[in-house]
């Protein structure tokens, strides 16, 4: 049980830096996408990275305009579901919106406004 939704708590969205920066903003649309994903797969969704302070974003090589800086992005792993399956689900449901990144071991989802963004950094 979460304090933000059925499956998610604010602490899951907190910056993972070592500085206790207290960055833990989460966009309401992002929370909805994540909850919908957890419900669809009927499985736990682990957030490996969400809101980042500027220092942590730099340390992990994040984009200068990363949606993580705004609390509008999450990198996720769904328990017992291959990342490719999660990615395909998000691409199908959010066909013409948001940012969806394909990676080997996780999926990036962000609720950017404007045109949809897609990228694939899987090892071929």
Q: Which CATH architecture has domain 10-120?
A: 2-Layer Sandwich (3.30)
The per-residue pLDDT for 54 is 97
Domain boundaries, the chain: 10-120
pLDDT digits (tens, 9 = 90+) for 84-121: 999 999 999 999 999 999 999 999 999 999 999 999 99
Residue 89 belongs to what H/E stretch?
Answer: helix 83-93
What does the DSSP 8-state code read for residue 61? T
Region 8-36 average pLDDT: 95
Q: 124 falls in which pLDDT band (50, 70, 90)?
A: low
Can you tell me whether residue 88 is helix, strand or coil? helix
pLDDT digits (tens, 9 = 90+) for 47-84: 999 999 999 999 999 999 999 999 999 999 999 999 99
């Amino acid at each position: 049980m979460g304090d933000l939704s059925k499956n998610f708590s604010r602490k899951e969205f907190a910056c993972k830096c070592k500085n206790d920066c207290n960055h833990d903003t989460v966009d309401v649309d992002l929370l909805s996408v994540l909850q919908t994903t957890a419900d669809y797969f009927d499985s736990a969704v682990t957030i490996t990275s969400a809101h980042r302070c500027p220092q942590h974003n730099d340390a992990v090589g994040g984009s200068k305009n990363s949606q993580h800086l705004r609390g509008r992005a999450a990198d996720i792993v769904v328990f017992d579901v291959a990342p490719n399956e999660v990615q395909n689900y998000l691409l199908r449901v959010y066909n013409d919106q948001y940012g969806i990144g394909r990676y080997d071991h996780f999926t990036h989802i962000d609720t950017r406004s404007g045109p949809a963004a897609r990228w694939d950094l899987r090892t071929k």
